[in-house]
Structure 1
C-alpha cells in the first residue's frame, strides 16, 4: 500500500522550502523504495529551488543520500530488502551507444523510477536528479541503488552520491591525475575540496588550491593542498605557475564554472596539460574568446567532467573501502547534522560560505 512520509518540497521558484506530506507508491517493476538515513544539502538542490534546472515545480529536493532498501518491485535483482545503499543519479541502461561501446560511465540513457511520488493532494512531484531524498523514504529506479559496506556511516556515505564523487572523479577519472603530477584546483567548496582529496589519493606531488575565501583555503589544506592562492590578492595564473616550476600545472580543475575561472584554468596549465571543467555554468555564460592558435599551441586536453565520469557500481564501493581504511577523510566534509526542518536555514548558510556540507539525518 502507498505510504505517507515527510519530505522537503520546493513549491515555487525562489520561495522557501516546506516540509510536506509525501505519498510513496509501492515499487513497480524495476523500482525500489529506500528508507533514507542521511542526505547532504547540495548546491544543486538550491539550483532547483531557484528554477535554475527547469520549471517542473513542485520539486522533492535532496539527492546525496544513503539508506536501507525497504522493498523492491518485480524483476529487481541488483538489490534486495535490507541492503545498505548509496543513491546515485546514473542508473546505467546497458544498451545506449555509450554502454554499447563499453563506456557505461557516460551512459546517455540513465533512468529513474517510472511511477511518480505525489503530495497528499495528488499533485505529482519532480524528484531532484530523479532521487528526492530529503524525505523519510523515497522511490527510485533499482539501478540508482549501489550496495556498499554497511560499516560506513550514512552521514558520509551519502556524499558520494553527488558532490564528493564529482570532485574526486574530476581528478582521478576525468583528469587522469597520477603519481608525481602537479594539480591546481580553482574553487574550494565541496567539489573543489573533493578534487583536492582525489588528487592527493592519486599521488599528486603538488596541489595548488585557489579561492577568494581564506576559510576555504584553510579547509583546502586539510584535504591535501600543498599550496594555497588567495584570488583576491594574487594573479591566479602567475601564482599557479610559480608553484609549479614556472610551467603551469599538469592538470587544472575548474570547480567554479565561470568564463573567467575557465580562462584561468586554460592559461595556468603546462604544455600538453589537461583542463577539467566540473563546476556547472549557467546557460547564459559564454566561453571566453581566445586565439585559435592558443588551443593548438598548448596541446593537451580540455574536458568536461559529468558526475566525475563515475561508474557508481565500481567507484562507490571502492571509495567507501578507502574511507574505512583511513585513506579518504569523508568525515571532514560534514560541517553539521540537521533535521528536515532545517534545510532552508542550511541553504542560507551555504550562501554565506559558512558550511562545507550540512547533512540531514533521519
Structure 2
C-alpha cells in the first residue's frame, strides 16, 4: 500500500509501497477515507531531535477492515473517527473524565510500518494516516454514525476537537464574554467557532494572513486584528476599553505569541495555551509580578480537554445541526501523491485545512 514516510527532519516525505502493518490482538485496521494535514504533522516532520523515520498523519476517518482478537469497541464495516488521543475508558484518567491523558497514550509511538531498508517506523500519534490504511490501538478509534462527508468528519480527529474543546471544555467561555484567538489556522478557527457557540459577545481573530482573518470573521469572529498594523496587544486593549479580554487563546505554539496571549488577557482573565511548540526545548518566560498580581489563570489545553467517547458524538451533532461549520474549514482537497504540496501550503499559512482524500 502507498505510505508517505518522513525520513529526515525538514526533508520532503517519500511515498513508499509498504506492506499493511500487522494487526495485533488489540489493534484495528482502518482503510483511510480522509486525513487532514495538521500543524502538528509539520512540527513533527521538522523536529530537529527526531532520529527515526516517521509516518505522519493523525486527523482521519475511515472504515474498519479487520480487528484483533481482543477488540471489543468496533467491528469490521464500522465507520470510525481516529483520535490524536486514545481513550481506553477504564484507566484512572478515563474513569475520572481525563481521558485525554489516558494510560494507553504509550501506543502513540509504537513502530508499525516495515520500511524497505529494514527499519520500522512509528505512526504519529498512533495513527499514521498519511497512508492508504493504518493500524491503530482500539482505544484510538470511535465508531460514529453520521452522514457528514469524510473530508469534514476527519477534522474532528484533532484540529476541530482541540480548538472547539479548548473554548467549551478547558476555558468554558461564557455567554457575553470577550475572546481573543492568536493564530487562525484549523485549530484557531475552531476556537472561534467554539466561542461563538458558547455565546461570546466579542471574538477577535489575530493573524497575519488576511485570508485567515476573513475566514474567522465568516466563522463568527466579530473583529480581525493584523499584527502587521501594530502591537496586537494594544489593538486588543483598544477593542476592550483598555482592559483586555476575558479569555485569550494561543493556537500557534510560539513562546513570543504565548506572552502576547498573557498580555491580552484582562486582570483575573484566563489564558489558554493550545499550540504545539516547535521543539521540546522551547521555554516560556513571563514577568513574575504580573503573573501573580494580575490574578490571571494560565492553563494548557490537551486536545481541548476533550473526552472523545463523549465529545466526538457531541461535536458531530453540532455539525449536523449547522451550529459547527466544518465545510468552510476545508479549503483544499488533494491526493496522497500531493502530500508535500499540502505541507507546503500549511508552512506558508495558506488556507485553513488541506485534506487528503
What TM-score results when the alignment is normalised by the length of structure 1? 0.92
Of 284, 287, 290, the residue aligned with 1:287 is 284
- Tell me, yes or no, if the aligned pair for 1:47 and 1:53 is still in contact at 8 Å: no
Shift of 1:94: 4.6
Report the CA distance between 1:295 and its aligned residue.
Answer: 1.7
Kept after mapping to 2: 8 A contact 1:149/1:321: no
Match of 1:43 in 2: 39
Provide Cα deviations, 1:199-252, integer angstroms capped at 9, x if missing partner: 111111110111122222111101111011111113212221222233211110
Show CA shifts across 1:336-356 (max 9, x none): 111111011111122222222
Give distance in 1, aligned partners of 2:151 and 2:49.
26
Counterpart of 1:133 in structure 2 is 129
Q: Pick from 252, 256, 260 the counterpart of residue 252 of structure 2.
A: 256
- Structure 2 partner of 1:195: 191
Preserved contact between residue 272 and residue 298 of structure 1 (Cα < 8 Å) = yes
**Preserved CA contact (<8 Å) 1:34 1:137:** yes
Give CA deviations for 1:130-154 in whole Å, capped at 9, x if unaligned: 1001111111001111112231111
1:98 maps to 93
1:206 aligns with 202
State the match for 1:81 in structure 2.
76
Structure 1 SS opposite 2:19: strand
Equivalent runs, 1:1-362 vs 2, <5 Å: 5-52=1-48, 54-57=50-53, 59-94=54-89, 96-99=91-94, 101-112=96-107, 116-120=112-116, 122-281=118-277, 282-290=279-287, 292-361=288-357
- 1:160 CA displacement: 1.0
Residue by residue over 1:166-191, the C-alpha shift from the partner in whole angstroms, topping out at 9 and shown as x without a partner, is: 11111111111121111110111111
TM-score with structure 2 setting the length:
0.94
Aligned mates of 2:132, 2:189 — CA distance in 1: 29
2: distance between equivalents of 1:95 and 1:136? 31
> Is contact 1:31–1:142 with CA below 8 Å preserved after alignment?
yes
Detail structure 1 runs of 4+ shifted over 6 Å in the superposition: none
Q: Is the CA contact 2:207–2:226 (under 8 Å) kept in the aligned structure 1?
A: yes
8 Å contact from structure 1 (residues 36, 133) kept in 2: yes
Deviations 1:68-101 (A, max 9, x none): 0111111211111111111012222456553454
Take 2:188 and 2:136, find their aligned partners in 1: how far apart are those partners?
28
Moved more, 272-281 or 120-129: 120-129
Conservation of the 8 A alpha-carbon contact between 1:335 and 1:356: yes
- The number of residues matched between the two structures is 355
TM-align CA RMSD = 1.9
Task: Please give the per-residue CA displacement for 1:259-288, whole angstroms capped at 9, x wherever unaligned.
Answer: 221222112112211000111223333222
Contact 2:248–2:272 (Cα < 8 Å) also in 1: yes
Q: Distance in 2 between matches of 1:349 and 1:112?
A: 30
Aligned partners of 2:13 and 2:340 also within 8 Å: yes
CA distance in 1, matches of 2:43, 2:265: 30
Q: Distance in 1 between matches of 2:50 and 2:172?
A: 32
